[in-house]
Amino acid sequence: MTQSNVRHLRRVSAPLAGYLRVGHRDAALITKLVEQGLPTGAGVIVDPAARARTAELRSAAVENGVEVILDPKSVELSTVGGMASSTISKLPWAHASPHSAPTLHGAAADAMAEAIAVSAVGQGVTGVLAPTHFLDVDRRWLTVDNELTRRLRSHLDSKGAGSTVIYYPLIASLRLLRNETALRRITTQLAALIVARQVDGVFLRVQGFGTTKAGPRNLRSYITIARRLHSLGVPLVGERTGSVGVALAAFGAIGGIESSITFGEVYDARRLNKVPDGRGFVPAPRVYIADAMAMVPTQEASAILGRRGFARLACQKPCCRRHREAMVVDARRHFVVTRASELARLSATPDMDRAEHYLTTMLMPARDNAAQLARFIPGLSAHRNRLDDWYFALQRTLAEDQEAEHRTTALVPTGVRLARGA
C-alpha cells in the first residue's frame, strides 16, 4: 500500500455544512445560540442592508468559528420586484433601474464589485456570495458574472481581505441545467474561475426546487446535476433545500445545505419579476417535527404533542430539554439546533454508508410518523405523499449507486480559501 492510500483511508471528511439565511428577526436568536455553544451550523448568510441589526451576530459568529457570508442581493437588484424593496434599492451598488446583462460590464461592473468589497470589509465578514444572476432570464449573465466575480476577488485582495472566501451561486432552473450544452458552458466558465483561484465553492440555487417542490423526477435530476458539478473539485452547497437538502447531503450530492429558519424552503426567482402588491407579510414560524420531517403550524403542533400517542415526537435535544412545549414556544430555536444536529448525525456516519443510513434510520421512520400525523392533520397528507416519493426515488438511486463501481461525493466547504485551483 502506498503512502497516499494510507492517508486517504485515515482521512476524516469534514462535517456537512449547514448555512442559515438570517431573516429580519433572526439575528438575536442566532447570536444567543452561538454564545450558548449550541449547534447552529457552519455559517450564517447576512443581508448587507441590515448592518446594524447583525453587528452582534457577526462578531459572535467570527469569535466562535462560524462563517459570516454577505449576500450582495444581485438577483434582487436585477429585477423590478427586488428593486421595489427600499433597503435593496438603497444598497451602494444599486442603480436607478434594475441591472441588466448588456450594461453591467467594464467600469459599471468594477464599481459594483468594489462597493461590495468595501461593504464586506466594513462588516468584517469571512465570505461573500459572488454577485451572480438568474441564467434562465438571460444567458449572457454567465459572462457578466464571471467578470463581476474576478473583479470582486481583486478588490477584496487589494483591500487586505485576501482570506475572505467567495462562494459562487449558480442560479438556474433544473430545465436549463438538464440541457447538456448549457451545463457544459456553465461548467467551463466555472472551471476557468476555479483554476484561477477566484472562487472557493459553488452554491447551487435551483429555481423552483425545494422541500415542497421536490418530486421524484426533480430529486433525481438534482442529484445527477449536482454530481456533474463534483468534477469542478470545489465544495458544493444546495441553497434553499431545507429538509430535502439533508437527503441530498446523505447521498453525497451536496456537501452543505442552506435554508431560512422555519420557512422559505423553495427558491423562487420568478417572484422577483413582479412588483409586490404591498401586502408583504412574514409567515408565522412553523414547528419542526423532526421525527416526521414535517413543518406543522403552531396550533396543530401544540394539539398533537398533547395527545398521548404523540408525546414521543417531542424534542429531546438540548434546545428543548426543559419541557414539551419548548419546541412550540420557541420553534425557531428548536429548528436551528435540530437541523444542525441532523447534519451532525449524518456527518458521524462514514460517507459511503450515509445514504443507506439516511433511508433506514431517518426517512423510513419519518414516513411512518408522517402517515400517522396526517390522520389528525389533514394538511400533512401532501407531505406524507412527498416522503413516499422521496423514499422510492432515493431507494432507486441507492440501488444504482450500489451497482456502479464508483460514486463521487461532494466536497464540504470549510470557510477557508482553496489552496490551489482544481
Shortest reach from residue 29's CB to Zn ion, in Å? 13
Nearer to Zn ion by C-beta: 319 or 410?
319
Contact 388, 367 (CB under 8 A): yes
Shortest distance in whole angstroms from residue 393 CB to Zn ion: 29
**Residue 120 or 331 having the CB closest to Zn ion:** 331
Cβ 336 to Zn ion shortest distance, Å: 9
Least CB distance from residue 317 to Zn ion, whole Å? Answer: 5
Between residues 145 and 300, which has the closer beta carbon with respect to Zn ion? 300
Cα(370)–Cα(388) distance, integer angstroms: 10
Indicate the residue among 33 and 315 with the shorter CB distance to Zn ion. 315
Task: Identify which of residues 112 and 331 has a Cβ nearer to Zn ion in the complex.
Answer: 331
Question: Contact residues for Zn ion (CB under 5 A)?
Answer: 315, 317, 319-320, 327, 334
CB of 210 to Zn ion, least distance (A): 23
Shortest Å distance, C-beta 340 to Zn ion: 11
Residue 399 Cβ vs Zn ion, minimum distance, rounded to whole Å: 34
Dihedral angle of Cα 88, 61, 16, 194, to the nearest 10 degrees: 60
- Cβ proximity to Zn ion: between 125 and 315 the closer is 315
142: cell is: 454567465
Looking from the CA of 241 toward its CB, the CA atoms found within 13 Å total: 30
Task: Give whichever of 136 and 330 is closer to Zn ion, judged by the CB atom.
Answer: 330
**Helix 141-158 to helix 180-195 angle, to the nearest 10 degrees?**
10
Q: Which of 5, 155, 10, 127 is nearest to 69 (CA)?
A: 127
Grid coordinates given for 91: 444598497
